[in-house]
Amino acid sequence: MQMRLSRAEYRDIVRSTEQLRPTRQCMKMLKDRFPNHSQSTLLSIFSLEYQKRTKRTISRHHAADVIEGHYQRYLNEAKARPTAPVLLEMANEVDLSPALMARLVLDRFLQDMNGEMLSKPVLNSMLKDPSLIPDQVLAKNIYQCTINDCCYGPLVDCIKHAIGEEHEVLLRDKLKERNLSFLDENKLRTMGYDKTPDIILEVPIAVEGHIVHWIESKASFGDDHSHRTYLNEQFWSYWNRFGPGLVIYWYGFIGELDCQRDRGILLKDCFPTDIVTLCHATHQQSPESTEGGQ
């Protein structure tokens, strides 16, 4: 499967996502159109694009009159068609994430029932476990929205967290297979570090002729926006503290973004196979010689 995309290939996929909704059926359509790309890569690209789209439009859905309109329409349609996936249909019609539509309508329902807004923990617990909702028809609609949304909601959050953990474990296993000595994030936190890469190598390595002191694992696709954000908020600060490093975008990235190698940040879409272990550190700072915190 192709993981490192040219910007032209990436834009072609993005154009195909513009009219899609965040449902699993739409993801199948995307996969059918781009069979040479993995489902994970396509889903990651689509999620990133849909989140951008949502940020541009979400404010209008949060207007009080719009929420009221959604809620009253739900009540009418659910009464007329109690077995239909009313909320899911409404979300797709107005191009709002099903999970976000579910949150808006549930919040409004709970206000009706209690006469006031309930706390976020109560709302979140009901979204995670719709059986807690004291209305069976609404509970079923909330559940349908949650399981059909591939970009937002408690199920997606849980899956993303698990996938992130899985790839960090994979990275540690690969390092152990190569007998490379390293400190992971948990160990670094106990040493007083608050903002660190996933892995700091105790003995640096060379990958494709570039020295690597640290490795960051990203279980996502690296597009322009996310990569620029990571550079500014994470990667350059890692470089300043620990020297040059490697970022693995497990679901691929735009090839043109791998343009900082000479400045000390290397991008890969898998664990490198051509590793050369260096005899001693070439950067004066290391976790043992620097103090915790920034």
Query: Can you tell me the distance from the alpha carbon of 147 to that of 98, in angstroms, rounded to the nearest whole number?
Result: 9
Q: What is the pLDDT of residues 152-174, one digit of tens each?
A: 999 999 999 999 999 999 999 99
Residue 23, pLDDT score: 81
Is residue 1 a part of any domain in this protein?
Answer: no
Is residue 86 a part of any domain in this protein?
Answer: yes
Taking 70 as the threshold, does the pLDDT of residue 290 lie above it?
A: no
Q: Of the residues 83, 115, 148, which one is the last residue of a structural domain?
A: 148
Task: Please tell me whether residues 108 and 143 are part of one structural domain.
Answer: yes
Task: Please tell me whether residues 93 and 162 are part of one structural domain.
Answer: no
**Three-state DSSP class for residue 13:** helix
Query: Can you tell me the distance from the alpha carbon of 101 to that of 221, in angstroms, rounded to the nearest whole number?
Result: 26
Computed over every residue of the chain, the mean pLDDT equals: 90
Is residue 225 a part of any domain in this protein?
Answer: yes
- State which residues form the domain around 66: 61-148
Task: Please tell me whether residues 166 and 248 are part of one structural domain.
Answer: yes
Show the CA angle centred on residue 104, arms to residues 159 and 15, nearest 5°: 60
For every residue of 71-88, DSSP letters joined together read HHHHHHHHHH-TTS-HHH
Task: Please tell me whether residues 128 and 176 are part of one structural domain.
Answer: no
Task: Please tell me whether residues 273 and 188 are part of one structural domain.
Answer: yes
Task: Please tell me whether residues 144 and 76 are part of one structural domain.
Answer: yes
User: How many domains, in total, are found in the chain?
Assistant: 2
pTM for the predicted model, two decimal places: 0.86
Is residue 98 a part of any domain in this protein?
Answer: yes
Q: What is the pLDDT of residues 102-134, one digit of tens each?
A: 999 999 999 988 766 668 888 999 999 999 999
Task: Please tell me whether residues 135 and 191 are part of one structural domain.
Answer: no
